[in-house]
Every structure is written in C-alpha cells, then in structure tokens.
Amino acid sequence: MPGKFINLGDVKDYDTAIKETGYGRFHYEILAVSAMSILCMGFQNGLSSYVFPAAQCDLSFTSFELGIINMAFMIGGVASCFLWGALADNLGRRKILVVTHLLDAIITLVCSLLPTTANLLVCRFLNGFLIGGPGSIIFTYVAEFQPPKLRTPVVCGCGIFFTLSWLLLPLLAYFILPLQGVTWDLGGVIFFSPWRLFLVILAVPELLTALWILKMPESPKFLLAKGSHAKSLLILRKIYALNSGREQDSFPVKNLIADAKPTPGSSKVVCQSKTMRVLKVMKEQMRSLFQPPLLLVTALTCAVMFANMFGMFGLGLWLPEIFVRFDQFEKLHPNATPSITELSGIVQVKNASCETTFDASVTFNTVVISSSSLVFNLVCSILAMKLHFKVIPLITMLMGGATSVSIYFLTSSLQNLVVASLFQASMITANITIGSIAVELFPTKVVGLALCFIMCAGRFGAMASSFLFGYFMDSQCEIPIFVVGVVVLLGGLLCFLVPRKAKGHTTARSLSLTSGIEVATLSGYDVKFR
C-alpha cells in the first residue's frame, strides 16, 4: 500500500506521547499491580527468616543445612539474573512477569508439601531463580508507563511495598506459625503444620498477581523500541481513553517515532529462526553494555549495587542478632556498658524443645524498623520529584555507610534499634532508586538486561557480606561492620560519577534535518518524512 507523507510536527516521541495520555485510572491500576508484584518479591526474599526455623522441628535439619537452604535462594537469583532481563528485552516485560510469578507460586505450593530437606533445597533454588524475573523487570515495566518527571518518584515510591512486605511477614508469622490446631497427617507421608500453611498463604497473592498482570498491556515503550509502532500507539490511545473518559480517536498524538539509534545487531538476523534471532540479539545486547558509551554506566551502577546489597543483605540481616546480643549482655551485666568487641563472645543457645515461639520484643523491633523504612521511602519519593535521579541514591548510600560505622560505638539496645532503623531505611531506598538510574540512562532495548547485570552484582555483594559476617561474628564482629561501612561509603561516592543525562536519545525535533526515516501510524501505513 503506498505511503503518505506527513510533516515533522505530526510526529511525537514516546515521552511526549505518554504525557499526552494524562494521569488517571490506568496509571493507578498499573501502580497497584506493580505493588502486588513487589510485595510477592519481598515475601520470597524474607520468608526464610520465619518459615524454615519453624520447619526445623518437622524436618530435623541442622543450622548448617538451614544456612545452605538460604544460600540456595540467592544462588538461584544469580543463576537467572541474565536470563530474565535478556528475555524481557526480546519477548516483552508482561509475558515474563506472568510466567515467572505463576511458576514461582506453583513452586511455593509444592514446597509446602515436600517432606525432605533436599527437596526444600531444590525448591528454594527454583524460587530464587524465578523471582529474579519480577525483581529485575517490574520496576522497568512500571517506569515505562510513567511520564519522564514521575519515573524516578514512582520507582522510589514502589520501593515502599518491598519494605511493607518485610513488615507484613513478621506479623503474619506471629499469628500463623504458633497455631497449634493447624496440624494434619496426610497419608502418613506429610505432616501438615503451620509453617506449611504459611507458605500456602504466601503463594495465593502471587497467583493473583500473575492473573492480574495477564490482563494488563505490554509496555508501549518496549513495543515502540521493537518496531511495533502501531501497537504502541494503540495502547497509548487506550490509556488515554481510560484516564480521560474520552474516545480513543481524540488522542492528540497520531504518529510515533522511536529512538533513531537501533540496538547493535538487531538488523542482522532477520532470516534466521526466532530462537536464533533471540540468542544473537541477546549476545549483541550484552556486548553493547560493555562497550562505550554504556561501559561507564554499566560499571558504575553494578559497583553501586554491589556496595548497596553488601550492606543491606549482609549487615542488615545481622542487625537483629546484634540487638539480641545487646539484650543478653544487659541481662547478664545490668550495670555495665557493652561494646561491639564484647558482644562477639555472646552466642545464642537455640531452644532445644522444638517449639515455635516468638519474642514480642523482636516482633516490635522488626515493626519499628520496617515502619521507619516505609516513612523514609515515602519522604524520598516526594523529594525525588524535585531532585535529580542520582541524588537520592547518593545521599542514602552515604547515610548507610555512616550508620554502619556508628554501630561500633553503640552502647545499648535502644541505640542499636535507632541505628538499625536508619540503616535499613537508607539501604532499601538506595536499592530501589539505583534501579531508577538504570531506567533513565540505559536505552529501552537493553535496560532489562542491564538491570539483571546490576542485580547480579548486588547478589554477589550480598553473598560476600553474608560469608564475612558468618566467619567473624563470633570472634571479631567489628571487622565486618567496618568493612560494610567502607564499602557502602565508597558506593555512595561512586554515585557522584553517574552521568546526569542519558546519551543517544533522539527526539523528533533532533531528527528535523534527517530524511528517509520510516515511522508508522495506527492505520499501518508506511509513512516517510519529506
């Protein structure tokens, strides 16, 4: 069908088009479904702290085996970190989110029925493998529906729900795990107990999330980047209609144009099978991340995330242990002032009665820490609307490093609670906003894969820090505390080097002197610039 000619003034780039859709019903729904996804992701990351200590009674595994099960989840996340981002950049964000949430919920349900430690080990590896999909993609998915000025605040605000999941988990555990009436013998093979019920309950919202995302559209920014201009424009028109209540035909944007610079290698594999095309494009995408001009951004964001998760999943997971040791020291020496070096010699003795108990003070402290993180995330979300996208992670990383070092000088459990609240709040906020840096600086076609590289670097940091604390906690716990402080502070300083603007993004205005560039309208006609 012959093409028709349009003026440059009729062509809008994606950022202009998404602003024209307004902000209303659709955006509230995309925020809600993203919040559910992030809650499920947080549940999977934190459930080991509550479920498997309770499962030790049923399965009779040792503390060493418990540690291995916890590590299996992290290893699963590392194993899949490149896969999901690459697939999302080639097959779509929505499709990967639906599949990973659905399979992860099924694995969690299966995990609740398995009778052996070895089976749990495999399930937790698979949980980590699958939940890495939403962990790497969901922030990209929600950000690509937002107008430019709201992307960083929205991503930062979504982090509230990750923190909220860590608030809900101990509350759910407090009410469900001590239940004595939830015990059924299933055929003499499985003894269904409260911790198994807890897993079933956590799987339900994930199933609902998968079904909810299934009815949501694919990211129009992704479709535009893949060359599906007409589909992208159609989705934007539907968003406009839902937000404004008007007819789709009244959407003011009639034509879309994508970034002029294609992903390397994207045009070299047209005649090959779909599988080979995806594999070759993935290879080219990985190569582009480690070549100029993206090399510096890749290195910086990976280093910052390594430092962040080195602190958040290292010291962050040991702060409750330090708190308990402060309490124990104060009970043993009521008139003495403890120091970190003296706490190294205090080792908890596990309850041998195999009864699930929850100290009310521990639950209270967890709620205080999580609540402070929620408030901090909310404040940062508001500030992010007025600040450059790299300012929040810079400040929070420096704050996290300073509070980490200050732990060495603590002299009471109350001081530890205050510092723990500040540390966790700053680290969680930084973790979320580092992802917003990637969304701003990486091209759409590789941002999913870039986030996976960044999360992989972070998970290696978490594993290294966990090993460091496990090795020194009972002998010289001041060593890992200072190491965390230095690493997190260095990560904060690296934020100064993050570029202020993304390079290579081209708008219709910048193409005003370019001829022969094809775009598409909703009608499907080939349209060329004159």
CA distances from 379 to 36, 372, 392 (A): 21, 11, 11
Does the structure show a pLDDT above 90 at 454?
no
Say what percent of the chain tops pLDDT 70: 75
At residue 354, what is the residue type? C
Does the structure show a pLDDT above 60 at 525?
no
Q: Convert the pLDDT of each residue in 355-385 to its tens digit.
A: 555 556 666 777 788 888 888 877 887 787 7
d(CA 208, CA 285): 33
Where is mean pLDDT largest: 124-138, 173-187, 318-332?
124-138
pLDDT at res. 395: 92
Q: Convert the pLDDT of each residue in 67-99 to its tens digit.
A: 677 778 888 888 887 788 778 888 889 999 999
Give the chain's mean pLDDT: 77
pLDDT at res. 267: 39
User: Who has greater pLDDT, 474 or 295?
Assistant: 295
User: 12 - beta bridge partners?
Assistant: 256
pLDDT at res. 523: 32
* Cβ atoms of 486 and 497 closer than 8 Å: no
pLDDT at res. 383: 80
Q: Convert the pLDDT of each residue in 109-130 to its tens digit.
A: 998 887 677 888 899 999 999 9
- Residue 207 structure tokens: 């199933």
Band of pLDDT at residue 187, cut at 50, 70 and 90: low
Q: Which residues contact 225 (CB under 8 A, 6 or more apart)?
A: 258, 259, 443, 444, 445
pLDDT at res. 407: 81
pLDDT at res. 367: 79
User: Cis omega before residue 293 (within 30°)?
Assistant: yes
Angle (nearest 5°) at CA 245 between 243 and 248: 90
pLDDT at res. 435: 74
Does the structure show a pLDDT above 70 at 334?
yes
Where is mean pLDDT largest: 166-170, 196-200, 382-386, 511-515?
196-200
Does the structure show a pLDDT above 80 at 322?
no
Where is mean pLDDT largest: 187-196, 263-272, 476-485, 508-517?
476-485
Least trusted range by pLDDT, from 205-214, 227-236, 484-493, 495-504: 495-504
Does the structure show a pLDDT above 50 at 351?
no
d(CA 140, CA 451): 8
Per-residue b or e along 361-393, where b marks 16 or more CB atoms closer than 10 Å to that residue's CB: eeeebbeebbebbbebbbebbeebeeeebbbbb
Range 117-144 average pLDDT: 88
- Of 156, 84, 157, 170, the C-alpha closest to 363 is 170
Range 441-459 average pLDDT: 80
Angle between helices 117-143 and 93-111 (to 10 degrees): 160
pLDDT at res. 51: 77
Does the structure show a pLDDT above 60 at 268?
no
pLDDT at res. 462: 81
Does the structure show a pLDDT above 60 at 500?
yes
d(CA 77, CA 82): 10
pLDDT at res. 108: 94
Q: Convert the pLDDT of each residue in 273-288 to its tens digit.
A: 555 666 677 677 778 8
Per-residue b or e along 55-86, where b marks 16 or more CB atoms closer than 10 Å to that residue's CB: bbebbebeeebbeebbbbbbbbbbebbbbbbb
Range 153-172 average pLDDT: 81
- Of 298, 307, 303, 305, the C-alpha closest to 499 is 298
Count of alpha carbons within 13 Å of 521, Cβ hemisphere only?
A: 19
Range 230-256 average pLDDT: 90
Does the structure show a pLDDT above 60 at 10?
no
* Cβ atoms of 257 and 35 closer than 8 Å: no
pLDDT at res. 39: 93
Band of pLDDT at residue 524, cut at 50, 70 and 90: very low
- Of 457, 441, 427, 458, the C-alpha closest to 388 is 441
pLDDT at res. 258: 67
d(CA 381, CA 314): 25
Q: Convert the pLDDT of each residue in 415-437 to its tens digit.
A: 878 888 899 889 888 887 887 77
Instruction: Dihedral sign for Cα 436, 442, 445, 449, please.
Output: negative
Q: Which helix (H) or strand (E) holds 41?
A: helix 25-46
Per-residue b or e along 446-482, where b marks 16 or more CB atoms closer than 10 Å to that residue's CB: bbbbbbbbbbbbbbbbbbbbbebbeebbeeebeebbe
pLDDT at res. 216: 95
Least trusted range by pLDDT, from 180-184, 253-257, 296-300: 180-184
User: Who has greater pLDDT, 307 or 321?
Assistant: 307
Does the structure show a pLDDT above 60 at 31?
yes
- Residue 339 structure tokens: 């120091």
pLDDT at res. 64: 64
pLDDT at res. 180: 64
Range 136-141 average pLDDT: 86
CA distances from 411 to 283, 421, 424, 481 (A): 53, 16, 19, 15
